[in-house]
Amino acid sequence: MSRQPVAARLYLVRGRVQGVGYRDYAQRVATALGLTGYARNLDDGRVEVYATGAAAKLSELSGALRRGPRMADVRGVDEQEAVCRHYSNFQIEV
């Protein structure tokens, strides 16, 4: 069985995404996809999500982040390639 190459992405999510369970949602989805990284609130109201894993799984995460949890109102997601950093799981950073 060959391992898929690991990639990393940084997502900056804007809209009503703080105080609505967005970081918990991102953590649940990323963990289910086998991704590692973090989600954290930014001072400007956005949520930053950093994830590493297989490119196909990152693509699935991207779609989920654009949908967001039920109470969120996602207005946009800026996505960019990022340097791979090692995380043992997907965590919520405060």
Token readout for 12 is 């900056």
**Closest of 7, 17, 6 to residue 65, by C-alpha:** 17
At residue 25, the 3 state secondary structure works out as helix
- Express each pLDDT in 32-62 by its tens digit: 999 999 999 999 999 999 999 999 999 999 9
- Express each pLDDT in 82-93 by its tens digit: 999 999 999 999
Q: For residue 66, indicate whether it is catalytic.
A: no
Residue among 41, 46, 70, 89 flagged as catalytic: 41
Distance, in Å, from the CA atom of 60 to the CA atom of 56, rounded to the nearest integer, reads 6
What proportion of the chain, given as a percentage, has pLDDT over 90? 93
- Band (5; pLDDT cuts 50, 70, 90): low
Structural domains of the chain, with CATH? 6-93 (3.30.70.100)
Going from the C-alpha of 83 to that of each of 7, 32, 39, 60, 90, the distances in angstroms are 8, 22, 16, 19, 16
φ/ψ of residue 50, rounded to 5 = -120, 130
pTM above 0.85, yes or no: yes
Residue among 23, 46, 70, 75 flagged as catalytic: 23
Q: For residue 23, indicate whether it is catalytic.
A: yes
- Band (3; pLDDT cuts 50, 70, 90): low
